[in-house]
Amino acid sequence: MIKKPLWTATGKTANDTLNPDLISIKDGQFIIFDAKYYNAQLEHGHVPKGQPGIESITKQYLYQLAYQKFIKDHGFLAVKNCFLMPTENKEIEDQGEASMNMLSALGLQNIKVRFLPAHIAYEYYLSGKKMDISSLNL
């Protein structure tokens, strides 16, 4: 659905475009997921370490912007953005949000951050089952 960029010097489009890892539609919500393979250290009061960079954050906002017309045309009740990152812990962890004021001010949703236990991801993958998104508490 996201068009490839046009290079006017050549009159041709590039080969690549924006490709979110996963789009999910549940209970009137349009949810954009991006899996990140970082060992982020997100502790309250400390500068984040090992987290996705500015290019990942701006790209996640761009996904929502790119789908905005589709979201409006189909009357979704809510839009959510979410980074999923692996953890060795036993439970899904709500790690707050990543945000940029200038993009939030445009009405784009901040990016929820969830640490997903690797063993849970493997269980779903190997069994071929789908995870209930509500367990992420977005």
Q: How far is CA 118 from CA 31, 59, 86, 95, 99, in A?
A: 21, 24, 5, 16, 25
pLDDT tens-digit profile of 1-24?
888 989 999 999 999 988 999 999
pLDDT tens-digit profile of 68-117?
999 999 999 999 999 999 999 999 999 999 999 999 999 999 999 999 99
pLDDT tens-digit profile of 41-69?
888 999 989 899 999 999 999 999 999 99
Confidence of residue 38 (pLDDT cuts 50, 70, 90): confident
Output the pLDDT for position 10: 93
User: Which sequence spans correspond to the domains of the chain?
Assistant: 17-39+46-136
Q: What per-residue string of b and e applies to 4-33 under the rule 16 or more CB within 10 Å gives b?
A: eeeeeeeeeeeeeebebeeeeeeeeebbbb
Looking at residue 135, the DSSP 8-state letter turns out to be G
pTM: 0.89
